[in-house]
Amino acid sequence: MALPFTPLFVPSRPVPLASAGAAGRAPSGHTSSGHTSPGRAELLAEPSALHPAVWRAQAGRGGAAGAGTLSSGFPALDAELPGGGWPVRVLTELLLREPGVGEWRLLAPVLVPLARAGRSVMLFDPPAEINAVALAELGWPPAQCLVVRSRPASVARPARGQASRRGVGPSDSGACWALEQTLRSGQAGAVLAWPGVNARADALRRLQLAAQAHEGPAFLLRELAAQAHPSPAPLRLVLQPAGGDELALQIVKRRGPAMEQPLRLSLSPVLSERALAAARRLPVVAWRSSVPAAAAVPHR
């Protein structure tokens, strides 16, 4: 029986690989259009010249903030983050024992410049009402902060010591849809969302795909228990308080080698001298993680 169409390409005889590679090949170092292409040595030194998703495992962190990152404002943190800053076009997960451990002051150095430049910073289901005065004290124009809620703040915030069950209700599907559309539009300067520990894996994968169109940082703030679950986010950090105006930070998933020791950052001061002295008298809580360090493998 004859085929109803002509095959697009049927070789009459096998073509040796060497001959196939040599046929129509431009001279070494030049493309067919005449432009100079990176040489072997250049590609080995900087694989991202071949494709942004190609990187060297031994050099997956630190350096000056590149085209795909924004400086965190903390040199010690930039030295640990792949590319030298917060990544854009991908999701970044911040895992918290409870809200208010210092995440706003950690992110202020990257969010405030975006807001001052007239870019909107969108917040999806924050765990409490946003204090415009506190934003102004950080240098953040409150008018550039847009809050999207699928539930009241009092419902969104779990009790102390209890994991939130957000991410499983009908209203959460609407919130994830709105977040996905925001990322795909590429119109927001930055995005922060609180999807909950039980956010569905397929919803997180859609958000990661949508983030590829978002030319800015996209942060998911989740409970510490979410560390035990896989995530498509290529960067995950655990945040815990470390005393007055200080924050302990551990990168549990990143491009490149694992982080050996937690990083301690000094945040912009907000406590009065009396409150700061009282905080320093409190015992320092040992570093705690929801899963053993061996379980926090880079490929999760």
189: in domain: yes
CA distance 275 to 234: 37
Alpha helices, DSSP H, located in the chain: 17-22, 40-45, 75-78, 103-116, 132-137, 153-156, 170-185, 201-210, 273-281
295: in domain: no
Number of domain units in the chain: 1
pLDDT at 288: 53
Measured CA distances, 255 to 70, 229, 243, 291 (Å): 16, 18, 29, 20
194: in domain: yes
CA distance 260 to 258: 6
Three-class SS state of 163: coil
282: in domain: no
114: in domain: yes
116: in domain: yes
Closest listed residue to residue 164, CA positions, set 177, 151, 145, 178: 151
292: in domain: no
80: in domain: yes
Question: Is the full-model pTM beyond 0.85?
Answer: no
Task: Pick the more confident residue, 288 or 76.
Answer: 76
Condensed to tens digits (0 to 9), the pLDDT of residues 218-255 reads 999 999 999 999 999 999 999 999 877 899 999 999 98
Contact 91, 220 (CB under 8 A): yes
* pLDDT for 32 beyond 60: no
Condensed to tens digits (0 to 9), the pLDDT of residues 36-73 reads 566 777 666 666 566 555 655 555 555 555 568 999 99
* pLDDT for 274 beyond 70: no
pLDDT at 237: 97
Any idea what the CATH number is for the domain that residue 227 is in? 3.40.50.300
Condensed to tens digits (0 to 9), the pLDDT of residues 124-139 reads 999 999 999 989 989 9
Three-class SS state of 255: coil
* pLDDT for 101 beyond 80: yes
In degrees and rounded to multiples of 5, residue 156 shows phi and psi of: -70, -25
pLDDT at 280: 61
Q: Give the residue carrying structure tokens 């943190």.
A: 77
Condensed to tens digits (0 to 9), the pLDDT of residues 148-197 reads 998 777 544 444 445 444 444 445 678 889 999 999 999 999 999 999 88
Task: Pick the more confident residue, 276 or 81.
Answer: 81
* pLDDT for 7 beyond 60: no
pLDDT at 283: 60
| Domain hosting residue 171, numbered range | 68-238
